[in-house]
Structures are given as C-alpha cells and as structure tokens.
Amino acid sequence: MTESELSAATRRLLEDVETHGWHSQHVFDPELARPNFSYSVGFTQTLGAPEFIVFGLHRDVMHDMLGEVFRQVKAGRKVEGDQRWHGLSEDFDCFGKKASHDGLFTTYAVLADWFWQRQGQSGHPAMIQLVWPGLLDGLFPWDEGCAPGVIAAQPRLWA
C-alpha cells in the first residue's frame, strides 16, 4: 500500500508514532455487546517493548494508562509477563499479563499487527493486557469474589 492509498486515520497513526513514539487506538462498540478498549501502536518500534491493551474503562483513562506505561518503559522499566504496574491510575495498581488469545490480532489489536507487519516483521508483536481491580474491593478478575462487572469488562486474553 502506497502512502497516497492510506486513509487519513492510518496516516494519523503513523504521524503519532513518528511524533510521539506511539499511537493510542480506541475501539468502541456502539451496540455495547463488547467492552470498549484501547491499545498501543508503536511501542515495539520506539521502545523495543510489547504493545499494551486495556479494556472497560473510560477512553481518556485508558489513554492515560497507556501513556504512563510508555513513560515508565522509556525511563528504563523492564517489561515482563505477570507484572504489577504502579502509577498508571491514582486509584489502583494494575497487572500486566502476556496476551495470547487466538483472536488477539484479528478481533482486538488489528492495527498493532498491521503496524508490526509494515515494519517488515514476521509473526505478531508481543502484547501485554493491563488488568485492573474492582475499585470497591480491590479484587482482580482471577480473585474469588471479584465483581461480575469487573470480570465482564475485561476479556481474558492472557493464558
């Protein structure tokens, strides 16, 4: 695909990565059948780190969380599998879980995969899902007694 064939949204994605080091892609289901989510595009190129995805919170909150991950990794934080993340939100810590869902790059992080391929890479980029706890009880989706709404808002993309 030539540069002139790219849509305005795709050109903006490429400009964001070039200018800011990354792009935040937000996906919203107007029928509310699936939780909304946001994911990063460009962490792999700019930071040599996995891309990140987060579900079920307000668009601005998820964007800010991804931006804070970018800042922390750029400052030298190492990214690993099951890892606690501090400072992504004033209200809670998150866990990063290595995502490996079958539909990860066909249903969710389509543009992250497109960008990875565009960079000449084979396979798919690594992806970490940020998982947040219930605000009232601090329980994560894998904890016994976690609120059903917290679980439903965060599809389990990790193994």
Q: 158 in a domain, yes or no?
A: no
What number is the average pLDDT over the span 23-30?
94
**DSSP β-bridge partners for residue 130:** 54, 96
Q: What is the pLDDT of residue 90?
A: 87
Q: What is the sign of the dihedral through the CA atoms of 153, 99, 37 and 87? A: positive
Distance CA 158, CA 19 (A): 31
At position 6, the amino acid (one-letter code) is L
Domain count, the chain: 1
> Domain range spanning residue 148?
3-152
Q: 157 in a domain, yes or no?
A: no
Q: What is the pLDDT of residue 1?
A: 46
Q: What is the pLDDT of residue 3?
A: 57
| pLDDT 10s digits, 27-40 | 998 888 889 999 99
**Which SS3 state, helix, strand or coil, does residue 87 take?**
coil
| pLDDT 10s digits, 34-63 | 899 999 999 999 999 999 999 999 999 999
Q: 159 in a domain, yes or no?
A: no
| pLDDT 10s digits, 64-116 | 999 999 999 999 999 998 999 999 998 899 999 999 999 999 999 999 999 99
Distance CA 41, CA 117 (A): 12
**Tokens (6 digits) for 102:** 């079958």
